[in-house]
Amino acid sequence: MKIRNSILIFFADLYRVWRRELRLVFRDEGVVIFFFVLCAVYPILYALIYDTEVANDVKVVVVDNDRSQLSREFARALDATPEVKIVQYVANMQEAQQLMAEKECYGVVLLPSGFERDVITGVQGHVSLYCDMGALMRYKQMLMGLTSVQQSVSNGMMKEKLAIFTNDNSAVIESKQVPLGNTAMGLASALLPCVFVLVLQQSMLLGIGMLRGGSRERRLENRGYDPMDVGAGVIATVLGRALCHWVLYLIPTIYVLHFAPVFFSYPQNGQVVDIALMVLPFLFATSFMGQTISVFVNDRESVFITIVFTSVIFVFLTGISWPRYAMSQFWIIVGNAIPSTWACNSYVMMQTGGASLEQLKESHFMLWALAAIYFVFACVVEKYLFRARARRMQHYAKGDPDALLREEYRRNAVDRM
C-alpha cells in the first residue's frame, strides 16, 4: 500500500509539474516566440535564402592567348554548359580583373599561349580558372562546368588517337553523373535538412533558458519563493518539464521535419516511422540538456548571451562544413555530447540516402544514452544548485525582505534602493 501511494504521489506530482510548465509557456510571450514562432519562421526563411539551389549561367570572361581552333572550341563548349555563360572575350588579364572588380563577371578562364600545340604534341595542356569566392555556389558551378568540358575534350582527343581500337561512336572512358539522394544537386538540399534539426534544438534550449530566468525573477520579487512552484520531487519536476516540452514540440517537429521539406521539394527518402523513432530521444535529450545548462542563466535576457552563441558551434560540430573524421579528438568528443550531432546526421542519412533505423542504430542508441545522461545531470542541477539557491534566497530574505532586490540592483548597476 505504501509503495502504491508513493507511485500515485509521483504521478500526481508529474502531472502538476506538466500542467504548471504548460501554463508558464503560454503565459510567457518570449517562450512562445522561441518554441513556436521561431520554429515556424526559420525553416521558411532559410529555405527562401537558398531557394535557388544551384547558380546556372554564372558569368565568366575568357582570356584566349592561344587563339587557335582548339581554344575556340574549348570556349564554345564551356559557354554551352548550363553552369557557365561567357559574357565577353578580353585581350589580357588586366581587363578581366577590371571586369571582375566591377562585378561584370564572377570568373576568368585563361587559355595560355601554346595550348593547342601542347595538346597535339602530347604535352599536358593547362587551363586556368580564377574565381570570385564571394559565393560558394558560383565557384562550384564554374568548376563543374570547366571540369566537364575538360573531360569531354580529353575524351575526344583520346578517341581520335585510339580510333583503331574503339568503335566510331564510343568514348574511351564514358563519364555519366547520376545523383542518388540529392537529385537537385543543390546547396539547400544538402545543408538545410541538417539546419532544420538544429532549429528545433536551439529553439527549445532558448525557451527552457528563458523559463528558468523567469523563475529566478519571480523568486527575487517574492522573497525567495516562486508562486508557480508546485513543490514536487526532483525526478518528477525534471521529467514533468521534459514531458511538457515533448508534447509542445510534436506539432513544430512535424512541421519542420516533414512539411518544410515538402514545401521546397527537398529529399524525402526516409520512412516516417523511422524518423519519428529517431526524433523521440532527440527531443528528450534536448530538454534534459536545456534544463542542465540553464544553470548558467541568471535572468531572462542572459539566455541570449548564454545559449545563442552555441548555434554556430553546433552547426560545425555536426560535420556539415568539415567532416567529423578530420576533426581533432577533443572536438569529436564535444560533438558526441550534443544531441543535434547525432540527430542531424541521422535525419540527413534517412531523408537523402534512404537509411533505415536499423542502419542507424548507433546514432539511435547514442541519443537515448544522451537523454539518460542529461536526465541525471538535470536532476543533480535541480537538487543541488537550483533548490539550494532558492533556500539561500529565502534565508537572506527572512532577515531583510529587500536584500534580494537590493543585491540584484547592485549586480546590474541600477540605483533603485
Of 166, 110, 103, 165, nearest to 135 by C-alpha is 103
Distance CA(245)–CA(286), nearest Å, equals 9
pLDDT at 334: 95
Residues 45, 55: contact at Cβ < 8 Å? Answer: no
Q: Which contacts qualify for 320-329: CB closer than 8 Å, 24 or more apart?
A: 320/191, 320/194, 320/195, 320/344
Highest mean pLDDT among 45-59, 162-176, 181-195, 323-337: 323-337
Which stretch of 52-56, 84-88, 131-135, 167-171 has the lowest confidence by average pLDDT? 167-171
pLDDT at 375 over 90: yes
Tell me the Ramachandran region of residue 53: left when phi exceeds 0, alpha when psi lies from -120 to 50, beta otherwise: left
Which stretch of 168-177, 226-235, 256-265, 313-322 has the lowest confidence by average pLDDT? 168-177
Question: Given pLDDT bands bounded at 50, 70 and 90, which one contains residue 118?
Answer: confident
- Please list, residue by residue across 55-88, b when 16 or more beta carbons sit within 10 angstroms of its beta carbon and e when fewer do: beebbbbbbbebebebbbebbebbbebebbbbbe
Distance CA(17)–CA(21), nearest Å, equals 6
Kind and range of the H or E element at 194? helix 187-221
Residues 290, 209: contact at Cβ < 8 Å? Answer: yes
Of 69, 71, 62, 72, nearest to 92 by C-alpha is 62
pLDDT in tens, 272-286: 999 999 999 999 999
Question: Given pLDDT bands bounded at 50, 70 and 90, which one contains residue 160?
Answer: low
Q: How far is CA 89 from CA 62, 97, 110, 116, in A?
A: 5, 13, 10, 18
pLDDT at 314: 93
Q: How far is CA 87 from CA 84, 90, 101, 109, 301, in A?
A: 9, 10, 15, 12, 52
pLDDT at 363 over 80: yes
pLDDT at 309: 84
pLDDT at 417: 46
Question: Given pLDDT bands bounded at 50, 70 and 90, which one contains residue 218?
Answer: confident
Alpha helix (H) residue ranges in 222-270: 234-248, 250-254, 260-263
Q: What is the three-class DSSP state of 405?
A: helix
Amino acid identity of residue 155, one-letter, is N
Of 222, 205, 234, nearest to 308 by C-alpha is 205
pLDDT in tens, 37-78: 999 999 999 888 777 667 788 899 999 998 898 889 999 999
pLDDT at 291 over 70: yes
Strands of the 128-131 sheet, one edge to the other: 84-90, 58-64, 107-111, 128-131
% of the chain surpassing 90 pLDDT: 47
% of the chain surpassing 70 pLDDT: 88
Cell of 265: 521539394
Q: What is the pTM of this model?
A: 0.81
Over the chain, what is the mean pLDDT?
86
Residue entry with cell 534566497:
393
